Amino acid sequence: MAVASPPVLGEWATVDSLKLPSGDWNAVLIKNSFFTEEAKAILSLPRLTWMTASSGILINLAFFRSRVAIGWLDSGSTLARPSERWQSPQAGVFKINTDAATRVRDGTSGIGVVIRDSHGHVRASLCQNLNANFQPQVAEALAILKGIDLAFENGFLPAVLESDALTVVNAISLKALLSRTFLLLSMLTSVDVFSVSFVPRLANKVAHCLAKLALDYTGEFVLLDDCPLSVESLVLGDYPMICSFLF
């Protein structure tokens, strides 16, 4: 059975309802409103580094400055036809790929994250078993939050993020608050400084396999500048030129 968040917040609660007057996250409210892994994902976001723009969207100042410095425009739209294979980001930018998987018989969900640089080198990979069978959209939202957190924590910025969860990506792009069940998505719409795009499964193979691998893990497993051997061939497969050079 899928896990539903506790009914503490209202049907159309917003991100602002989760903060204290000081600007910090309201940890007590968040812990009472979400299950453990959801709360950890939200509280891991560096709330004090965010400011409220005139539109009400939260913006990370340091990341916003870095984005302006390289002349970015908002590229979060899903209107462009997505590539069928993984594409490297522009020089100086990191690419985060995330995915989630579920296994009904175990009643568990897993998430996978991989961060690569413009040369295609893996800078970080993550597998995490959530120890609960979350609704698919919530699990995908948690995977995206974990990817953002991993990038912030290790300084992999600026970054773009890709997911093969079309419903979640569209909700982020449209800044749609679907219902209290999807309050996590309102957290993602606040992370406006990240470019979040939809890609087909074939362009998200590494993150997909990491999420599947997480179903057999306990807790969280993170590698920096490396990835599990079971997905290494997929990483190399995203770069045929690298494969031919190595072999």
> What residues of the chain score a pLDDT lower than 70?
1-16, 37-38, 41, 44-83, 173-194, 240-247
Sheet-wide strand order for 122-129? 195-198, 159-163, 94-103, 108-116, 122-129, 220-224
Q: pLDDT value at position 195?
A: 78
| pLDDT, tens digit, 9 for 90 and up, residues 95-131 | 999 999 999 888 899 999 999 999 999 999 999 998 8
The answer to whether 235 and 206 are in contact (CB under 8 A) is yes
In CATH, the architecture of 88-246 is 2-Layer Sandwich (3.30)
Which residue reads 């959209």 in tokens?
137
| pLDDT, tens digit, 9 for 90 and up, residues 225-247 | 999 999 999 998 887 544 433 44
> If 0-12 CB within 10 Å is exposed, 13-18 middle and 19+ buried, where does residue 144 land?
buried
pTM tops 0.85, yes or no:
no
Q: Which helix (H) or strand (E) segment is 98 a member of?
A: strand 94-103
Q: Angle formed by the axes of helices 205-214 and 229-237, to 10°?
A: 170
Amino acid at 16: D
The answer to whether 64 and 38 are in contact (CB under 8 A) is no
